[in-house]
Structures are given as C-alpha cells and as structure tokens.
Structure 1
Amino acid sequence: MTEEEEPEEEDGPVDQLGIPMSREPTLDDVRGDGDQHRRLALGCSLIVVALVAAFWVVRVMWLGAD
C-alpha cells in the first residue's frame, strides 16, 4: 500500500484491512478474539464424539454384538 492508499483515521485507529478498531464486531467479522472460538469448537466436537462412542458402547452392551 502506498501512502495515497492509506485509509483515513477519522474514527481512530484501523486494522490491516482498514476496519476501525472501535467498530462493533459482526457475524462475518474476520477479527477474532484469540483462540476462544477454536477451543469452543474443539470442546463441542469432543462432546459429540464422546456421546456417539457412549451410544455404541451402551448399544453393544444391551443388544449384544449381533
């Protein structure tokens, strides 16, 4: 980016994409808050895997391996 293409800083500091840092985040916002969402997704995935595994363990115990 050249100096001519630099975004205006009328509303305060901006990030690398030219989005004002003071802007409220939206659902499609690319700025994250660290690894919080990744941890949430991994935790939910582990819970789902544990529930599926528990279902099959209970099924095999009650109905047998037939």
Structure 2
Amino acid sequence: MREERGRGGRSGVGSGIAPHGARRSDRAVAVLRTESLVLDVVYVLGAIALFVIVGLLGRAVEKL
C-alpha cells in the first residue's frame, strides 16, 4: 500500500483486517458477514452441482 501525502493514512485494497488500533464499523462487519454467507451458499451449490454432474456421467457410462 502506498502512503497518502498530507494525511499519513494508507490507501489501497483492504484485506478485511482492521489496522492496529482501528475499529471496524458495524456496517463493515455486516457486509463481511453477508459476503461470507453468499460465498458459503455458492460453494455448497457448486459442490451439489458437481455431484449431480458426476452422477449423470456415471449413468451415461453405465448405459454404454
């Protein structure tokens, strides 16, 4: 991250970790929770879809 001139603050892409001595706002915590929940749902749906595809391929191979 690069230093901003004049204010001494930092800018750049945040990693979700609050800087030392800083507190996250309630809104930031809510956004992180929502993003985590969405990623969990996407991951579970992807895993289910993968098992369905493998099952369908297994049936197709069995019919050959």
TM-score normalised by length of structure 1: 0.50
Instruction: Output the aligned Cα RMSD.
Output: 3.1
Q: Greater share of strand residues, 1 or 2?
A: 2
**Equivalent residue letter for 1:61:** L
Percent identity between the aligned chains? 16
1:60 maps to 2:23 = no
Gaps of 5+ in 2: 1-8, 11-17
Per-residue deviation, 1:40: 0.3
Count of aligned pairs: 43
Structure 1 equivalent of residue 4 of structure 2: none
Shift of 1:26: 1.8
Report what 2:3 is aligned to: none
TM-score, normalised via structure 2 length: 0.51
Question: Can you give the 5+ residue segments of structure 1 that lack an aligned partner in the other structure?
Answer: 1-22
In the TM superposition, what is the alpha-carbon distance from 1:32 to its structure 2 partner? Answer: 3.5
Correspondence 1:37 to 2:24? no
Aligned position for 1:13: none
**Bigger helix fraction:** 2
Structure exhibiting the larger radius of gyration computed from Cα positions: 1
State the structure with bigger RCO (CA 8 A, min sep 6), 1 or 2: 2
CA shift for structure 1 position 31: 2.0
